[in-house]
């Protein structure tokens, strides 16, 4: 068993040091949210951050990991409205306070450490590798930078020291009975009364809802509909020594047994506005995106643990005269998993760096660059969340297969690790919600830059045929597959719009149409049934492309080790991108009449 999940896994340090923008971020981030004199050079900052990760890696390996099975076995329970946690999980959280984990995302002026998001992502990955239950608790209680962004100065002064010292825990409450992904149907209300709001309603499936500070999305404008008129309220667990939020139930779950999923009841509860009134969805979206990035990092950690455990078992289990890890099919399962993990990590770290650049330019009031990085962060976040959470299930299941019958027995951690993965494609927006975000954002981008897309459509494949760089060639081939997927979706929309065979139109006519009318391409009358039907397959293609691109963005010719992993991922990803494209182009839309049948049933 590894003694340190940072120093014993050099690929983590290499991803930050050689294959990300972390070094360029350090000094601008210090100037924006820290102290410009903290580090004289970026290398000084790297030494500090790597030292912190080394300490956290040791903590993860020597304290979190040995208690993981016990924590999950004991789980948590509800007694008289109080959630009872395993003692070892509570001790882990206390150690996190000592190690400064809860201070990590908060600016120095408020007593925080101002750690770049990429270093935090690696820390979360290590925590999840060690103990998914503890890792999720740490994520839930590390929301200080969100209060820093949206809170008043009074709220920052009141709440941030408590979060840093772990004397106050946090949770976000969105979901309600009958209003999960469709937040426009929220019915919980907040009525303004003096300096606070009176909150009434029920929230369900709230992770760590027993927290001291519940950030609840409620309707503060009773006349509003949909996403309008929603606000975020800070609802303290107790006010003036009296219970302000009731935990009425915790769910009995398949996974993460020590992570309470709560039902909350607000009955004339006291809440305080966080951010602008009526813009609650915008305020909460910031936190949801941060949470989605965290889910991606946690998913990677579980994958690493599953791979490590499978390799350990496979090395000791001998069949047909040799360890099963040496049998070709078993070796292939493990190798592909290790390749996927490197791609997942590249995508998450690139997303994390985009988050930091976005906030650096926010602090500088540089709207043009802020908008540019915000767009990139928005583009990468659902991809990171989708790709990592979905791959976690595949990898954990494949690693379980290596154990044979023992895989489903509690003698080994394989079954627990597989159980822990199944929630991640659901947490913080399901994979289908992420897919719709990816589809809609892509179509908006194409509508705004139609000529650029058409140029890429023509040029990516041609350039891939002449470049001498094997890495660049694979990235261009991936881009071509993504372009073909976008084209297929556009053709389905245009066919409906023209009611004719779009393939018979001249290329110039298509270009003129997109140039002149692209911004009006999507109206209330536009039939998006087929694009929605393809959305998840399209997201698989898009995620594979961006994972490949993020792996190669910081690649330098001559780096044979990195080239090896990039090309290995390309050999896995590009064929499956082609397969998804083939499916989109050739599968008969048999689901459409089935949808009509379902309408009749309802």
pLDDT digits (tens, 9 = 90+) for 68-124: 999 999 999 999 999 999 999 999 999 999 999 999 999 999 999 999 999 999 999
Question: With contact defined as beta carbons under 8 Å apart, do 89 and 130 qualify?
Answer: no
pLDDT computed for residue 214 by the predictor: 97
Helix, strand, or coil (residue 231): strand
Task: Judge whether residue 503 has pLDDT over 90.
Answer: no
Structure tokens at 96: 């996190």
* Sequence ranges of the domains in the chain: 170-279, 431-589
Using alpha carbons only, give the angle 293, 300, 26 rounded to the nearest 5 degrees. Answer: 55
Q: Is the CB of residue 108 less than 8 Å from the CB of residue 48? A: no
Q: Among 1.20.1420.30, 3.40.50.1700, 1.10.150.240, 2.40.110.10, what is the CATH number of 170-279?
A: 2.40.110.10
Does the pLDDT of residue 505 top 60, yes or no? no
pLDDT above 80 (res 462): no
Q: Give the pLDDT band of residue 525 (cuts 50, 70, 90).
A: low
Instruction: Read off the pLDDT of residues 150-180 as tens digits, 9 standing for 90 and up.
Output: 999 999 999 999 999 999 999 999 999 877 7
Per-residue model confidence (pLDDT) at position 516: 44
Rounded Cα–Cα distance for residues 580 and 442 (Å)? 17
In which band, very low, low, confident or very high, does the pLDDT at 195 lie, cut at 50, 70 and 90? Answer: very high
pLDDT 10s digits, 293-344: 999 999 999 999 999 999 999 999 888 889 999 999 999 999 999 999 999 9
What's the length of the chain? 602
User: CA dist 255 to 76, 126, 504, Å?
Assistant: 12, 19, 53
Contact 44, 88 (CB under 8 A): no
| pLDDT over 50 at 501, yes or no | no
What would the mean pLDDT of 413-442 be, rounded to a whole number?
94
- Reading the block at residue 160, the tokens are 């941030």
What is the rounded distance in angstroms from the CA atom of residue 287 to the CA atom of residue 294?
11
pLDDT at 481 over 90: yes
Indicate the average pLDDT of the chain: 91
Q: How far is CA 407 from the centre of its chain?
A: 28
Q: CA 452: distance to chain centroid?
A: 29
Instruction: Tell me the H-state helices in 364-469.
Output: 367-401, 414-421, 431-448, 450-466
Residue 461 has pLDDT above 90, yes or no: no
Residues sharing a CB contact under 8 Å with residue 322, sequence separation 6 or more, in sequence order? none
What average pLDDT does this structure show over 135-154?
A: 94
pLDDT at res. 454: 65
Q: What is the mean pLDDT of residues 256-266?
A: 97
Residue 42 tokens read as 């970026």
Burial (0-12, 13-18, 19+ Cβ within 10 Å), 83: middle
Higher pLDDT, 496 or 575: 575
Share above pLDDT 90 across residues of the chain, in percent, rounded to a whole number = 78
Do residues 12 and 122 lie in contact, with contact meaning Cβ atoms separated by under 8 Å? Answer: yes
Separation of alpha carbons 345 and 364, rounded Å: 29
pLDDT of residue 500: 44
Q: How confident is the model at residue 455 (pLDDT cuts 50, 70, 90)?
A: low
């Amino acid at each position: 068993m590894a003694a340190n999940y940072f120093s014993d896994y050099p690929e983590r340090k290499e991803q930050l040091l050689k294959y990300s923008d972390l070094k360029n971020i350090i000094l601008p981030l210090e100037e924006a949210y820290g102290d410009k004199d903290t580090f004289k050079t970026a290398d000084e900052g790297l030494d500090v951050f790597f030292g912190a990760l080394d300490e956290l890696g040791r903590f993860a390996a020597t304290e979190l990991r040995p208690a993981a099975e016990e924590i999950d076995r004991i789980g948590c329970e509800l007694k008289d409205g109080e959630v009872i946690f395993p003692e070892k999980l509570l001790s882990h959280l206390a150690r996190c306070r000592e190690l400064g984990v809860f201070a990590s995302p908060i600016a120095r002026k408020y007593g925080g450490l101002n750690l770049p998001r990429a270093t935090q992502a690696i820390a979360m990955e290590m925590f999840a590798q060690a103990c998914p239950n503890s890792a999720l608790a740490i994520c839930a209680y590390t929301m200080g930078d969100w209060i820093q962004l949206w809170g008043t100065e009074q709220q920052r002064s009141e709440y941030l020291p408590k979060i840093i010292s772990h004397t106050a825990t946090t949770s976000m409450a969105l979901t309600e009975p009958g209003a999960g992904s469709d937040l426009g149907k929220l019915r919980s209300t907040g009525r303004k009364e003096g300096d606070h709001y009176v909150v009434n309603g029920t929230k369900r499936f709230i992770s760590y809802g027993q927290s001291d500070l519940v950030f609840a999305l409620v309707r503060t404008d009773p006349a509003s509909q949909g996403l309008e008129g929603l606000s975020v309220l800070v609802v303290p667990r107790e006010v003036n020594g009296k219970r302000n939020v009731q935990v009425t139930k915790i769910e009995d779950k398949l996974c993460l047994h020590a992570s309470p999923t709560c039902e909350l009841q607000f009955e004339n509860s006291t809440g305080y506005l966080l951010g602008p009134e009526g813009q609650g969805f915008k305020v909460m979206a910031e936190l949801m995106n941060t949470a989605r990035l965290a889910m991606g990092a946690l998913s990677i950690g579980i994958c690493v643990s599953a791979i490590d455990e499978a390799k350990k078992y496979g090395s000791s289990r001998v069949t047909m005269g040799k360890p099963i890890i040496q049998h070709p099919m078993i070796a292939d399962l493990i190798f592909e998993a290790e390749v996927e993990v490197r791609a997942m990590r590249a995508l998450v770290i690139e997303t994390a760096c985009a988050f930091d650049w976005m906030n650096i330019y926010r602090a500088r009031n540089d709207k043009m660059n802020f908008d540019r990085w915000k767009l990139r962060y928005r583009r990468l976040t659902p991809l990171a969340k989708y790709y990592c959470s979905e791959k976690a299930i595949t990898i954990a299941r494949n690693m379980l297969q290596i154990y044979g019958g023992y895989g489903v027995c509690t003698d080994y951690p394989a079954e627990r690790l597989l159980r822990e993965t199944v929630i991640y494609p659901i947490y913080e927006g399901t994979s289908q919600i992420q897919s719709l975000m990816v589809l809609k954002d892509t179509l908006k981008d194409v509508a705004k830059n139609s000529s650029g897309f058409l140029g890429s459509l023509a040029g990516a494949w041609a350039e891939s045929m002449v470049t001498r760089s094997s890495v660049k060639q694979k990235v261009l081939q991936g881009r071509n597959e993504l372009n073909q997927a976008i084209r297929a979706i556009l053709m389905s929309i245009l066919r409906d719009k023209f009611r004719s065979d779009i393939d018979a139109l001249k290329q110039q006519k298509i270009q003129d149409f997109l140039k002149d009318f692209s911004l009006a391409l999507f109206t209330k009358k536009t039939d998006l049934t087929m694009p929605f039907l393809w959305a998840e397959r399209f997201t698989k293609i898009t995620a594979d492309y961006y994972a490949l691109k993020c792996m190669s963005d910081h690649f330098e010719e001559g780096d044979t080790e990195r080239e090896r992993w990039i090309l290995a991922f390309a050999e896995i990803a590009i064929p499956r991108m082609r397969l998804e494209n083939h499916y989109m182009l050739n599968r008969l839309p048999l689901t459409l009449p089935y949808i009509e049948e379902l309408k009749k049933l309802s």
